[in-house]
Homo-oligomer: A and B are copies of this chain.
Amino acid sequence: MAGNTIGKLFKLTTFGESHGKAIGGIIDGCPAGIKLNLEEIQNELNRRKPGQSKIVTQRKEPDTVEYYSGIFEGVTTGTPIGFVIHNTNQKSKDYSHIKDVYRPSHADYTYDKKYGVRDYRGGGRSSARETASRVVAGAIAKQFLSKIEINAFTSSVGDIFIDKPYQDLDFSKIESNIIRCPDEVSAQKMISKVEEIKKQGDTIGGTITCVIKNVPVGLGEPVFDKLHAELGKAMLSINAVKGFEYGSGFCGAKMKGSEHNDLFNEDGTTKTNLSGGIQGGISNGMDIYFRVAFKPVATVIQKQDALNSAGEIVEMQGKGRHDPCVVPRAVPIVEAMAALVLADYLLLDRVTRL
């Protein structure tokens, strides 16, 4: 109820602060009999890891996941999967300067007002470090999804965006550059942009597009738990996300019905896909695609004003090891959240009919 669980049947509950002993989670409801490839899970985690390239934070953390339960001889047993990632690089002293200070556009102020007490080190529970647990769980979910393919990629950084439909992109190239953009020309511009922003001691926002292929028809639970509503919630729960649109999205709001309707082919597929693979909250077998907006990281290296707990405005300066742009490291997080939702809805769909 306090919000640390996602999923109805395939359920993930996470715990952990950025500078506590460990972060981790429990997956309850993972079906029995899945032969897990543990290396692939660690690979996903490595895609999210700090220090992986010159355009992300230079903190170094091994982020090695350990499994405590639920897997026996490499196979899921149907019992809860408890897993842990130990925090090894806390350097708590780094954070004494923010002990009584609320940084602008961070969660310091709201946590303090809500709970009356907080682990202020590195953002504590509000740190995006928590998303590492999501990546682990999402990577396990992916291994349950069989033929469903989930690909996310950076579709814009600042005002630089890919000006092609996703159908013209080669997703196998997503990992070929450090910004995780499958269009090489745009990728290079984006990387230059981030480097330039980084030099300024500033940060920049961006968007991630996610495309899900081979989704069976019938996933989704109307009316409140429509498939896109749950995907939207999952994405909006990621740190720094400000918007979500699927299919035609905000552009669709400018269109006419006669333009927007997706006419059928005889096999039930549609000639166009402005619906984004979901109709009435239920997947129709076409590609599901959506776009997620990330604001610029709030920690800037430039000096700026902050508020302290005594109600005084104080000057502060961010320290050196933050992401100038969150988007490249958020790509695996978006995929993980999509995988968690789809795994859950695949299970939910099993009880639809007699």
The answer to whether the Cβ of A258 comes within 8 Å of any Cβ in the partner chain is: yes
Cα A204 to Cα B252 in complex, Å, equals 9
- Of the listed stretches A15-23, A55-63, A162-170, A173-181, name the one at the interface; the rest are far from the partner chain: A15-23
**Across the interface, do A110 and B15 meet the contact criterion of CB distance under 8 Å?**
no
Assess whether B110 is in contact with A283, with CB atoms less than 8 Å apart: yes
Decide: B114 and A311 in contact? CB cutoff 8 A: no
Q: How many copies does the complex hold?
A: 4
User: Which stretch of A39-47, A184-192, A263-271 is in the interface?
Assistant: A263-271
Produce 1/0 per residue, A1-36, CB < 8 A to B.
Answer: 111111011010111110011111110110111100
Interface status of A102 (Cβ within 8 A of chain B): yes
A138 at the interface (CB under 8 A from B): no
Chain B residues positioned under 8 Å from A31 (CB to CB):
351-354
* Total residues of chain A contacting the partner, CB 8 A: 151
Contacts of A263 in B (CB 8 A): 104, 304-305
B244 pairs with A232, CB closer than 8 A: yes
Query: When the two chains form their complex, are residues B257 and A69 in contact, meaning their CB atoms are under 8 A apart?
Result: no
Q: Given A252-B293, A302-B258, A28 and B11 touching (CB < 8 A)?
A: no
Quick one: which of B84, B202, B217, B253 contacts A294, CB cutoff 8 A?
B253
A222 near B126: Cβ-Cβ < 8 Å: yes
Using A16-B68, A351-B350, A352-B78 as known contacts, say yes or no to A300 and B257 having CB atoms under 8 A apart. yes
A94 at the interface (CB under 8 A from B): no
Q: A124-B77, A233-B230, A268-B307 are in contact. Are A250 and B243 (CB under 8 A)?
A: yes
A213 at the interface (CB under 8 A from B): no
0/1 per residue, A278-318, Cβ < 8 Å to B? 11111110000000011111111010111100011100000
**Among A3, A69, A252: residue with most chain B CB under 10 A:** A3
Whether A80 is near chain B, meaning CB under 8 Å from some CB there, is yes
Across the interface, do B22 and A261 meet the contact criterion of CB distance under 8 Å?
A: no
Given A26-B13, A247-B242, check contact A2 B257 (CB 8 Å): no
Query: Considering only CB atoms, which chain B residue lies closest to A266 in the complex?
Result: B311
A80 CA to B295 CA, complexed, in Å: 27
In the assembled complex, which residues on chain B have CB atoms less than 8 Å from the CB atom of A259? Answer: 296
In the complex, which residues 75-95 of chain A have their Cβ closer than 8 Å to any Cβ of chain B? 75-82, 84
The residue that A353 contacts in the complex, of B24, B26, B78, B158, with Cβ under 8 A, is: B78
Contact B202 A258 (CB under 8 A): yes
